[in-house]
Structure 1
Amino acid sequence: MGSVDETAAPAPLRILVITTGLKLGGAEQQIAALARAFLALGNEVAILSLTQGREIDLPAEVQVTELAMRKTPLSMLSALRQARDLVRLWRPDVIHAHMVHANLFARVLARTGHMPPVICSAHSAREGGRLRALAYRITDRWCAMTTHVSDAGRLAMVASGAVPEGRVIVMPNGIDTSRFQPDPPSRERTRRDLGLGPDDRLVLNVGRLVPEKDQAMLIEAFGEVSRDLPKARLMIAGDGPLRDELAHQVTRRGLNHVVLLAGARKDIPDLLRAADVFVLSSRIEGMPLAVGEALASGLPVVATAAAGVSELAGDTATLTPTGNPQALASALRNAIASLPGTESERDRRRQRIVGRFDVNGVARQWLAQYRSLRKQR
């Protein structure tokens, strides 16, 4: 009788991802990055989106189904039927949901019949109010595992009563360090395209224009920076419901010549290479991908101490209290005054991300979790 080859590569997995949506956002970008990594490691991926519309780039090999679910009982029942049919046809080994609505949907789906293990991943330190925490707690037993991208977020979920402490673990975001890395020719080309001169200092913020990201506080802080450093420029790359309000704020403060609301961009790696400093102004985060991408690009980072930032950056970033424009302005002035910095400083920032948060390593951690749950099932 032949012996089993214990060194053989594990069998590939079929991974069904359920997401609230596929718009431009940190969680959505993480889903895309993990999908690329899973495929590169020989697995199959399908994505089920509760809502319509796709703004992120996904590999052609990924099967995408959009449910166009609305907040009505009939629409939700129809979406559950479609999801169940997809599971029966595609036969995934594991279902991995991301973000609160998809997490709750996947848990209810698990109750509709025999299903593979369901994992639910939270991406924000504030998943919602008391009703969402109660919904999480009631449905907790319907999933095999709940994860959060940061320990601060995990503790917040436990404190809210959403999940028992022993039922949630930390699985960090992964950064595609092959896309986000220093590239001097790209830097020069992008700066030239942006009309930046050699003495201009570009401060970059990337994020949705929503209250949680607090770009209003950032604009207030940058107004102070601009008075002292007239060559400083601020670009905010992102779109959202606060765009008009922020544009009015920029005009009201007389900052149109130094602050650019650049809208949603698909050239973030190039913008990071063109920038001199990255800034995060958020009140609420889980583990901000943009900070990791900036560090992987070698950039100095000034960030508010939102959940997950210190876990991601360690001592390679300057942290300030949330909601404090004076502290943020002071830290930005110091960061700009310290430019251009040394090559060893840039390398240390990049190695912080490469060594701990590279997406390929994180994808392998996920695959190990999937296989463990499948074996238990």
Structure 2
Amino acid sequence: MTHSPRIRILMIITELDRGGAEQQFVQLAIGLLHKGWEVRVVCLGPRAELCDQLEEQGIVPRCLGARSVWSTLSVLKQLVENIRSFQPEIIQTYLFHANILGRLAAFRAGRSVVVCGLRVAERQAHWHGWVEWLTASLVTRWVCVSEGVRQHAAKNWKLDQTRLVVIPNGIDIDRWKNAIPFTRADLELPSDAIMLFSAGRLDVQKGMDILLDAFGKVALEWPRLHLVIAGEGPLRKELELHKGTQSPASGRVHFLGQRNDIPRLMASCDLFVLASRWEGMPNALLEAMATGKPCVATNVEGSSELLGHGQRGENSQRGWLVPVDDSLALAAAIDEALRSETRSTALANSAQAYIQKHLTTQATISAYDFLYRQLLEVSPPALSTSIN
């Protein structure tokens, strides 16, 4: 019997902390391993939480320990050494720093098939787009997580559209729809509390200030409504002092910090809200939809594709969409979702069915597997071995 040799893929990521992109990366690495690929993972930063998850599946990540820009030359040298020793047929990079250093190392080591992930339509660090464009000749394909990111990269970064492909994030829907909710007492909420939930990094991108503004408005009409926010970030202290946390919402805004039980928190809420100013394909929204919760989100990259196009429910199939930075529209959509219980349930069911049909983890892994084999012009392995 003959067995086809396993195809080698080197996967490089900036860090392995528990973030949305990082968890998608880990899912992909494990999925490719199970599909028969020989997978090596390199993390530019120090060892972090998700390393354990990889090791449980037999993938031992090589963490290079970078903590600042001063580590760049050392990291680049180590990446070149990893590429030369492993000789991968495909190099897949995730997140900006890994994208740039990975392609430079691949060029230095003489490897040509480089696939880079574009995870967000960056609006703040504009120089990222300039560096992407400057080093574009070293990239075989960019994988964009949404059509919105693809359009952003083509229009604003002037990247070659023929090398931009879209593979959306996927999710293990059973993990989310079967999560056991907390009781209101577990969350230190009144027994009759209506729970509005949001999750994300507390920074400018996620628009938590707009959410607090909106909550301050809608709280007047809904005295049982509580806003629960999971996540950490540089703006936490500022947000805790935000006017939206004051009267009439005083005592009804709850900052939980970083949590590792998001499925249970998601299962506990009555309505999920995402107020981002820009995105790629927001994992938190994907998770809320998989849980079967009604959703209100701003009309940004990924969110508009997940929930359907339109403004505040008009022509929307799976949730409410509102303009960015518009707390009045956000408050109105929250109010409508809470009042329209029948419609909210119908949209939530439609959203969950959409995720189950189109955006599973296995669908994402299969799409990457197909892309890689297409680039290498390699057929999938046969289901049975042949006898010579």
State TM-score, norm by structure 1.
0.89
Structure 1 residue 131 displacement after superposition: 3.4
Counterpart residue identity of residue 154, structure 2: V
Counterpart residue identity of residue 100, structure 1: F
Q: Which residue does the alignment assign to 2:252? A: 258
Residues 324/79 of structure 1: CA separation in 2 closer, same or farther (3 Å cut) = same
Q: Which residue does the alignment assign to 2:42? A: 48
Q: Which residue does the alignment assign to 2:351? A: 349
Unaligned runs of 5+ in 1: none
CA–CA separation in structure 2 for the residues paired with 1:128 and 1:99: 15
Please tell me the root mean square deviation across aligned C-alpha atoms, in Å.
Answer: 2.5
CA–CA separation in structure 2 for the residues paired with 1:250 and 1:132: 34
Q: Which residue does the alignment assign to 1:274? A: 268
CA–CA separation in structure 1 for the residues paired with 2:322 and 2:347: 20
Structure 1 residue 239 displacement after superposition: 0.4
Structure 1 residue 100 displacement after superposition: 1.6
Q: Which residue does the alignment assign to 1:201? A: 194
CA–CA separation in structure 2 for the residues paired with 1:341 and 1:35: 39
Q: Which residue does the alignment assign to 2:216? A: 223
From 44, 54, 58, the equivalent of 1:59 is: 54
Q: Which residue does the alignment assign to 2:166? A: 170
Counterpart residue identity of residue 63, structure 2: E
SS state of the match for residue 303, structure 1?
strand
From 122, 130, 145, the equivalent of 1:126 is: 122
State TM-score, norm by structure 2.
0.87
Q: How do 1:1-377 and structure 2 match up within 5 A?
A: 12-56=6-50, 58-60=53-55, 61-69=58-66, 71-72=68-69, 75-115=71-111, 117-126=113-122, 129-183=125-179, 186-187=180-181, 189-249=182-242, 253-254=246-247, 255-314=249-308, 315-339=317-341, 345-375=347-377
CA–CA separation in structure 2 for the residues paired with 1:90 and 1:127: 36
CA–CA separation in structure 1 for the residues paired with 2:7 and 2:197: 39
Structure 1 residue 340 displacement after superposition: 7.1
Structure 1 residue 70 displacement after superposition: 5.2
CA–CA separation in structure 2 for the residues paired with 1:192 and 1:174: 33
Counterpart residue identity of residue 32, structure 2: F
The number of residues matched between the two structures is 366
CA–CA separation in structure 1 for the residues paired with 2:340 and 2:256: 26
Residues 167/43 of structure 1: CA separation in 2 closer, same or farther (3 Å cut) = closer
CA–CA separation in structure 2 for the residues paired with 1:352 and 1:242: 34
CA deviation vs aligned residue, 1:27-46 (integer Å, no higher than 9, x gap): 11211222333334344433
CA–CA separation in structure 2 for the residues paired with 1:374 and 1:59: 26
Counterpart residue identity of residue 323, structure 2: P
Deviates more, 1:222-231 or 1:53-62: 53-62
Counterpart residue identity of residue 198, structure 2: N
Deviates more, 1:209-218 or 1:46-55: 46-55
Residues 251/221 of structure 1: CA separation in 2 closer, same or farther (3 Å cut) = closer
CA deviation vs aligned residue, 1:127-181 (integer Å, no higher than 9, x gap): 6655332321221111211121111111111112341222211111112212111
Structure 1 residue 12 displacement after superposition: 4.5
Instruction: Note if contact 2:212-2:244 (Cα within 8 Å) is conserved in structure 1.
Output: no
Structure 1 residue 373 displacement after superposition: 1.7
Residues 59/66 of structure 1: CA separation in 2 closer, same or farther (3 Å cut) = closer
Deviates more, 1:99-108 or 1:318-327: 99-108
Residues 139/202 of structure 1: CA separation in 2 closer, same or farther (3 Å cut) = same
Residues 151/168 of structure 1: CA separation in 2 closer, same or farther (3 Å cut) = same
Deviates more, 1:10-19 or 1:299-308: 10-19
Counterpart residue identity of residue 65, structure 2: A
Structure 1 residue 297 displacement after superposition: 0.5
Counterpart residue identity of residue 236, structure 1: I
Residues 313/335 of structure 1: CA separation in 2 closer, same or farther (3 Å cut) = same
Instruction: Note if contact 1:180-1:269 (Cα within 8 Å) is conserved in structure 2.
Output: yes
Instruction: Note if contact 1:303-1:320 (Cα within 8 Å) is conserved in structure 2.
Output: yes
CA–CA separation in structure 2 for the residues paired with 1:124 and 1:192: 37
Residues 46/114 of structure 1: CA separation in 2 closer, same or farther (3 Å cut) = same
SS state of the match for residue 175, structure 2?
coil
Percent identity of the aligned residues?
33
Structure 1 residue 197 displacement after superposition: 4.8
CA deviation vs aligned residue, 1:195-242 (integer Å, no higher than 9, x gap): 345531111101000100010110111011111101111111110111
Residues 215/168 of structure 1: CA separation in 2 closer, same or farther (3 Å cut) = same
Residues 105/222 of structure 1: CA separation in 2 closer, same or farther (3 Å cut) = same
Instruction: Note if contact 1:313-1:352 (Cα within 8 Å) is conserved in structure 2.
Output: no
CA–CA separation in structure 2 for the residues paired with 1:67 and 1:17: 13
Instruction: Note if contact 2:214-2:331 (Cα within 8 Å) is conserved in structure 1.
Output: yes
